[in-house]
A and B are shown apart, each in its own frame.
Chain A
């Protein structure tokens, strides 16, 4: 498969260009915090509940809140129907996503409680874990959870020997490498870094730098979306 034509990608983007992204803060009424995100072809809803009492009780920690993160793909989110419920892949993504967000949350403020994060993938088009983390981070802020910063995430990869930002499905499936990154842009602390495929050391360093730039743009969008929630109400 040919991915690069005249320096452009299959969806007409430049190698270092993100897909169009839209955040909607507070999309759900019942949740304490929520965020709907469209990231290229991805459509994702994130909901945050808590801090609230922990059930089952044996999971509770005496001195801090616990964080639970559930990443789930809807059965209709991909071309071929996906069997509902957790599978090996979604359990792994839930774990790494939780660990990507966990370091910025101030858990000591809420002993014996839980903060539950639900990320539902309604439509998938590569980079769902990254988009899910972005949405979850905004939803946490919307819920009023104390955090040291927002976590931003995006994927980088390699297609036709070119390092590219924010892969689409074809690039992810048939490309040479895919590497999701999550980080706190202000401190530069990287909280998630996975890689599938092969990159040389040089390419890896290039990809990491590109990923950081991508995360920085996403961080600006997250911030803007949160600020817009209250500005928007004023215009009514």
Chain B
């Protein structure tokens, strides 16, 4: 048993001194009198620069992010979309691949529908504009969506996508991870169930090291369990 799963990075709280060199400041830090301090509660990661990886918090969209959004309202010319952030996002009717009338909007994508969007603009007052991803609007009509904290998304994806390809290959499901922490899973019901379970596990243990190995093991065990039941 590997009981020595150590946090590979130091846990810091707001105001902790991270570096004496102001040039090393990166995300999650601030500089005061030439020294770098932590701005948030998270894991300090010091390489050529020092940054703090958040452990919690709300998703703030950035231009280029791909997210899973849920339509919350359809107005005259915009779809209002909930993207799991403090701010509502808008997709204008003209972003739809072909020219449509206002009256058709609700038929294409109504309140409660989920879809994959790309953030095309975020202005300083946090007005967020969306467009369909890759020019084609994909409304998610099958599968399911689970939510994890956006801070855990890098762990769900893994280094260079290792975790996500592991899940896809072992489980025969299609998985799409939105930057906002919403994850779309599409496959056979049992596989989806297992994928949800594994993803929740990854979320819980996101701050520990050796996670991929443990998940591989868990997948093997669970897979056998599933087959025996059949």
Please judge, given known A-B contacts A111-B125, A112-B125, A147-B40, whether A227 and B56 are in contact too, CB under 8 Å.
no
**How far is B37's CA from A184's CA once the two chains are assembled, in angstroms?**
14
What 0/1 pattern do residues 192 to 236 of A give for CB contact below 8 A with B? 000000000000000000000000000000110011001101100
Tell me, yes or no, whether A52 is within 8 Å of chain B by CB: yes
Tell me, yes or no, whether B58 is within 8 Å of chain A by CB: yes
Mark out the residues of chain A between 57 and 79 whose CB falls within 8 Å of any chain B CB in the assembled complex.
62-63
Categorize the interface residue count of chain A.
35 or more
What 0/1 pattern do residues 34 to 59 of A give for CB contact below 8 A with B? 00000000000000001111000000
**How far is B86's CA from A173's CA once the two chains are assembled, in angstroms?**
44
Question: Which B residues lie within 8 Å of A142 (CB)?
Answer: 41, 56
Mark out the residues of chain B between 1 and 57 whose CB falls within 8 Å of any chain A CB in the assembled complex.
5-7, 11, 13-16, 28, 30, 32, 37, 39-42, 54-57
For chain B, the count of residues having a C-beta within 8 Å of the partner chain is 32
Tell me, yes or no, whether B126 is within 8 Å of chain A by CB: yes
**Distance from A62 Cβ to chain B, minimum over Cβ atoms (Å):** 6
**How far is B5's CA from A230's CA once the two chains are assembled, in angstroms?**
12
**How far is B7's CA from A110's CA once the two chains are assembled, in angstroms?**
30
Tell me, yes or no, whether B207 is within 8 Å of chain A by CB: yes
Tell me, yes or no, whether B180 is within 8 Å of chain A by CB: no
Tell me, yes or no, whether A93 is within 8 Å of chain B by CB: no
**How far is B123's CA from A199's CA once the two chains are assembled, in angstroms?**
53
Question: Which B residues lie within 8 Å of A53 (CB)?
Answer: 86-88
Please judge, given known A-B contacts A111-B125, A112-B87, A112-B125, whether A145 and B15 are in contact too, CB under 8 Å.
no
Question: Which B residues lie within 8 Å of A63 (CB)?
Answer: 125
Asked if residues B86 and A113 are in contact (CB atoms below 8 Å), the reply is: yes
Q: Which of B7, B28, B126 contacts A231 (CB 8 A)?
A: B7
Asked if residues A143 and B57 are in contact (CB atoms below 8 Å), the reply is: yes
Asked if residues A145 and B37 are in contact (CB atoms below 8 Å), the reply is: no
Specify the chain B residue showing the minimal Cβ separation from A149: B15
Asked if residues A113 and B56 are in contact (CB atoms below 8 Å), the reply is: no
Tell me, yes or no, whether B94 is within 8 Å of chain A by CB: no
Asked if residues A106 and B39 are in contact (CB atoms below 8 Å), the reply is: yes
Asked if residues B57 and A226 are in contact (CB atoms below 8 Å), the reply is: no
**Distance from A70 Cβ to chain B, minimum over Cβ atoms (Å):** 19
Q: Which of A111, A112, A144 contacts B41 (CB 8 A)?
A: A144
**Distance from B214 Cβ to chain A, minimum over Cβ atoms (Å):** 13
7 additional contacts (CB under 8 A) given A33-B56, A144-B40, A146-B28: A50-B58, A53-B86, A112-B126, A141-B13, A141-B14, A148-B15, A233-B204
